Amino acid sequence: MITTLGEAFDAGWRLRVYCRDGKRDHGKSTRECRSSLAADIETLLRTRGRAFPISSLETRMKCPRCGSRRVSIAFEVPRSGMSASA
Ligand SMILES: [Zn+2]
């Protein structure tokens, strides 16, 4: 069970940030963003630390494009091959 950034990095996981902003009922001047961007786990490791729980990422990340905090996090788990020799 992978629960921290460090473990996810070791497992070769990739992180994507999906912006959920732009679906506002009263969106007057709000353009849809709906960005989907690959996040750099290595950068997160440096800024958050290896022990940072990945379950907390969603509340800490911001959309790099529009700055919205309404983002979803998705991990891309490698199928196989990455046989971590830890
Ligand atoms: Zn956005």
SS3 of residue 70 by DSSP: coil
Distance 80 CA to ligand 1 centre (A): 32
- What pLDDT, on the 0 to 100 scale, is given for residue 42? 92
pTM for the model stands at 0.71
- What pLDDT, on the 0 to 100 scale, is given for residue 85? 53
Instruction: Find the DSSP H helices in 5-76.
Output: 5-10, 41-48, 57-60
Distance 84 CA to ligand 1 centre (A): 34
Residue 86 has pLDDT above 80, yes or no: no
Neighbours of ion ligand 1 (CB under 5 A): 19, 21, 33, 35, 63, 65-66, 68
> What average pLDDT does this structure show over 60-82?
83
Residue ranges making up the domain that contains 45:
5-23+32-76
Distance 65 CA to ligand 1 centre (A): 5
pLDDT digits 0-9 by tens, 10-66 = 999 999 999 987 655 555 555 678 788 898 899 999 999 999 999 999 898 888 888
C-alpha span between 83 and 81 (Å, rounded)? 5
Residue 18 lies in a domain: yes
**Structural domain count of the chain:** 1
> Cα angle vertex 63, ends 53, 6, to 5°?
25
- What pLDDT, on the 0 to 100 scale, is given for residue 80? 65
Residue 62 lies in a domain: yes
Tokens of 53: 């729980």
Residue 83 lies in a domain: no
